[in-house]
Structure 1
Amino acid sequence: MSSRRSTSVIAIGAVALLALAGCSGGNSANTGGDSAGSDSLVIDTAFSIETTDPGHTYDPTGNMIAKALYETLVDFEGSDVSTPVPGLASWEQNDEATEFTFTLEGDRVFSDGSPIEAKDVVFTLQRIQGMTEAKPNFLLGGLTITEVDDKTISITSETPLLQLPAILANPALGIVNSDVVIENGGTTDGSDTAQEFLDGTSAGSGPFVLDTLDLSSQVVLTKSDEYDGDEEAAYGRVVVRNVSESATQLANLKGGDSMVAMDLNGDQVSGLGDGLNVESVPSGQTIFLLLNQSEAVAGDLANVKIAEAIRYALDYDALLELAGAGAVQATGVIPPGFEGALDSGVEQDLDKSKAALAEAGYTGQTLKLQFPNDYPVGGVEFTPLAERVQAQLKDAGITVELAPAPFATELDAYVNGTEGFGLWFWGPDYADSANFLPFAPGLKVGLRAGWAAEANPEIAGIAAGAAAAADETQRSDAFTSFAEAMQADGPFVPLIVPGRNIATADAVTGAVYNSVWEMDIAEITPAG
């Protein structure tokens, strides 16, 4: 495995997936047949959206809609989430990466024509800080946000926070028109009641405004007449429909009833035929095995050397056969495309596996593999994946018993750290490698594996150094060291980074997957 940092630009990581709720099948948009050639854009996806209030949204579909309605201080270009760029504002930071100054650029306006000012930024972010129950609230923890003047905002952190620009690109932190939201129940003290208003009317500066919202069937957007940014909408009307079945999405796309299908699996995109295009890329989700290191949970199987044995026992190419288009091998706990990701993953080596088993003192005990059997990730079904892992480990002399359960049941065991051997997944909350430090001993995912900080002080120290780094080069090196150390001595076995497939009619272009907001609707234009 190589330690050189990955510099390739890969579309990465969806925010953590939530259960996809959907009941609609065919043309719930009432678009009247063939959508090509009209001023309307029809997009089919399986809904994961609870609101169009950016301060409460934190779901894949919700983020995509928020991106169309609201602008953020910081942005990313296309599918590249490796380098934050100015959105509404440019920024500077001190050498310690604890003080950031954002300056609003140009004379931008909201959808009602009123100017965007520093007070709107401060209200937006403090509103989310005040709503402790809001999903994006944790993104702004430990920050002090103040207005310097009409164009300038100061954000300070208690600790170095080089990832702050990447955090501020999240659509959940889209800037709202403070005057309008305050008039309709918006506050910063936790008593906010503006969500109902924002589920009916948008109050942002994005290229679109909200027309109608139906959480069970569709969201309709219309072009903003006041938009004065550099991403002007190419369509006057956009209908995002809740089509939960990928087969129905494919039929709609082939029949001309839609122009974009966001949830086709690898088999479906392998033979789309003429007139249709597909973008297949790795996501930021990582599917991995967890070996619990708590003797109270795993008994005499609580040995990190068993994880090492499993790492070298597996045939990763054979596992990838189950994942389909766009998927790649997970090279470590940091997936490809993120800073510090390793260039290549572990290769099967049965001699190393047997040596690790001997060092662990393994004598044929049965490992019970627990996993959710009703929750595919990126088109990857866990049951056939678990069966293939079981068969490969049997060939390597490791006995595995499968113990599937519904997601809701198994999630409690995973979160509470009571799984001895588990098959799970992890995705980033924002586009930065800091999202993967929780795998370290003593941190969230590490503790779910019964891996306390004292179990490996060296890796715990590397993670702490990466988190506290104020220098970009130092931080990048620390993430690489963390990824290497986790592959060598961690209780996790990274398996697969699933793919994401977005299929389109050849009448449109620009439908590109982005790990932060799924897809930028404003970038979709008529082909040619």
Structure 2
Amino acid sequence: MMATGNLWRRGLFSAASLMIMAASGALATAGTAQAADSEIVVARAMDLNSLDPARAYCDTCQIYLSAVYDTLLTLAPDNKTIVPDLATSWEVSPDVTTFTFHLNPAATFSDGTPVTATDVQWSMERLKNIKGGAAYLMDSLKSIDIKDPHTLVVTTKTPNSEFLGILSATYVGIINSKLAMAHGANDDDNASTTDTADTWFLSHSAGSGAFTLQSYKADDALRLKRNAGYWGKKAQVSGVIIKQTADAVTQAQMLQSGAADIAMQIDPDTAKTIHDPNIVFQTVPSYNYVYAAFSPIAKGSPVPLTHDVREAIALAIDYKGAIDFTVGGAGNLQPSAIPNGFPGTADLPAPVTDVAKAKALLAKAGYPNGFKIGLEFPAMDVYGIDISLLAQKLQQDLAKINVSLTLKPETFNVWVGDIDKPGVPFTIGFFAPDYFGSAQYAQYFGMMAGMPWGTRAGVGTTPGLDGAAELVAFNKALAAGPSAQEAAYQAIGLQMIADKIILPIVSPDLVLAYAKDIGGMRYSACCNLPLAEIVKH
């Protein structure tokens, strides 16, 4: 039942009407109806780049896609265990290259049509061929053989011990292929240039999830409504509004006023200033982090970003101070681009600060008096971190070694385009897991040919970055059992540290902030915030 304090906070009832309703027993009825039929409002800085599962790649994308598009498999609340979603069962060959899935025959898309093996095949091949940010998840895909409408066999090019985890990623959401193809989508080899459905997906959805898309207005709001015909357990609220809210302070104000039920990016310092019995703050560890990164081949750097220069900058950063400055100490040092708690991260050496050594390395590189360089970053709050504040902290730190940073804040969409075209010499980025497994970090951040940050860093052309050691360890990990995986990913983590391309700075604890009448709040390593589990009492 909704607390009367919350009804008052929202201005839904006057004091007089509350007394009358309480006397007549109507308050209980109103509370029950409100819980079943009300929308919830989520305040967050939206970083949406697309609503198309094959093109979307962002944190808000994870929340949207997991609500609207079911996946073959998903993650249990422990954030590690793979459990059924569209697939009720599966078998894996001993050599970890053949995966057989059996679909739930009751599963239907929101328009009532059955989810079939053909839709699964089409969705996975389209993700691969669109070549968007999450296409790397299908890098190992070789073939898909449909046995019957509810059975398919997926074969990978090489052993892939993380393939089941990959299928829990929201970007591998299964699309109603016939509906999408009717509006310009295709899974052809040249889909990256011939698929024209991106605009259609901005106002329509084609999933089998607990919600459907109601509307989306950029820089305003993303609205979802409950899928009344959902084949699984129906959502507990009638709809969700994700409201664009740029900063933590405004999100907190919305939560206090009742304009929002959930605020997703409140930092620990802001949380400490709020004393409201109707608001719950829950701090949990997360796998999210914010990092600085170099692209040595990008144009515009005033000096060559050699290993000595990169290491000097890494040594000048005050990592503990950055955690204190951005999240009030509510975070952890992270050694490598593989987040704490993932396979291979035990006992990795923590980053250190050594200004004297940094100056010596700069002198050795030929820059005893330092230099000026730009730092481009998305001007937004993520995981309770104001990236602009973090940029200022880096500016202060690097000034100690006479490296002068020119801060270049951009919108998320401009920044995400710039880091690839034309490339950004020095930047700040952020990453949340797509699923539980370390392969995604080796693929996205590893110095291997064809991988996103390997490409940006110039693997094969930048001295010292040949990718050979990481590739050997990566292939070993994908073919190995759990204990051997741990050793292989640790080797990758150590090489990432040595490469000095990705510099993790803050791994913040996550503050879940929500109204007291909200239940079912949890952090998910695949889905960020599982909207279908949220309850309004």
TM-score for the superposition, normalised by structure 1: 0.78
Query: What is aligned with 1:471?
Result: 480
Deviation at 1:175, TM superposition (A): 1.8
Greater RCO between the two (CA within 8 Å, min separation 6)? 1
1:514 and 2:519 correspond: no
Structure 2 counterpart of 1:13: none
Name the structure 1 match of 2:48: 49
| 2:95 alignment counterpart | 96
Matched, 1:139 2:137: yes
Q: Is the 8 A contact 1:211 1:220 kept in 2?
A: yes
Partner of 1:477, secondary structure, is helix
Contact 1:393–1:399 (8 Å) recurs in 2? yes
**Does residue 268 in structure 1 map to residue 277 in structure 2?**
no
**Once the two structures are aligned, what percentage of the paired residues are identical?**
25
Equivalent residues, number: 490
**8 Å contact kept, 1:441–1:452:** no
1:88-124: CA deviations, max 9, x gaps? 1133222333222111146333334443322222233
1:228 partner SS: coil
For residues 246 and 355 of structure 2, the distance between their equivalents in structure 1, rounded to whole angstroms, comes to 45
Instruction: Write out per-residue CA displacement over residues 165-186 of structure 1, whole angstroms, 9 at most, x where no aligned residue.
Output: 2322222322233454455555
Distance 2:305 2:242 in 1: 49
Matched, 1:252 2:244: no
Match of 1:204 in 2: 207
The residue aligned with 1:317 is 320
User: Scaled by the length of structure 2, what TM-score is found?
Assistant: 0.76
Q: 1:357, CA displacement in angstroms? A: 3.8
Contact 2:378 2:415 in 1 (8 A): no
Q: State whether residues 330 and 497 of structure 1, in contact with CA within 8 Å, keep that contact through their aligned partners in structure 2.
A: yes
Quick one: distance in 1 between partners of 2:84 and 2:117?
Answer: 15
2:43–2:263: 8 Å Cα contact kept in structure 1? yes
Q: Distance in 2 between matches of 1:186 and 1:363?
A: 52
Q: Aligned partners of 1:152, 1:458: CA distance in 2, in Å? A: 41
For the structure 1 residues 399 and 219, does the alpha-carbon distance in structure 2 shift closer, same or farther, using more than 3 Å as the test? closer
Partners of 1:331 and 1:429 in 2: how far apart?
16
Code of the residue aligned with 1:58 in structure 2: it is Y
Cα 1:410–1:45, aligned 2, differ >3 Å: closer, same or farther? Answer: closer
Specify the alignment match of 2:20 in structure 1: none
Instruction: Kindly indicate whether residue 521 of structure 2 is the aligned counterpart of residue 523 of structure 1.
Output: no
3-state SS, counterpart of residue 264 of structure 1: coil
Tell me how far 1:451 sits from its aligned partner: 5.8
Question: Which residue of 1 is the match for residue 438 of structure 2?
Answer: 433
- Deviation track 1:349-387 (CA, whole Å, cap 9, x = no partner) reads 649937974994777240434312662452444555455
Determine whether 1:401 maps to 2:404: yes
Give the deviation of 1:72 after TM superposition. 0.5
Partner residue in 2 for 1:424? 428
| Secondary structure of 1:272 counterpart | coil
Secondary structure of the corresponding residue to residue 102 of structure 2: strand
- Alignment CA distance shift 1:150-1:176 (3 Å): same
Conserved 8 A contact 1:234-1:525: yes
Contact kept, 8 Å, 2:90 with 2:100, in 1: the verdict is yes
Shift of 1:73: 0.4
User: Is this contact kept in 1: 2:311–2:358, CA < 8 A?
Assistant: no
Counterpart in 1 of 2:151?
152
Distance 1:387 1:208, change over 3 A: closer
Residues of 2 paired with 1:451 and 1:134: CA distance? 20
- Give unpaired runs (5+ residues) of structure 1: 1-30
8 Å CA contact 2:302–2:373 kept in 1: the answer is no
Counterpart amino acid of residue 492 in structure 2: F
Amino acid at match of 1:445: W
What's the secondary structure of 1:116's corresponding residue? coil
1:2-29 CA distances to partner (integer Å, 9 max, x unpaired)?
Answer: xxxxxxxxxxxxxxxxxxxxxxxxxxxx
Trace 1:161-176 onto structure 2 (pairs within 5 A): 161-176=160-175
Structure 2: runs of 5 or more not aligned? 1-9, 14-29
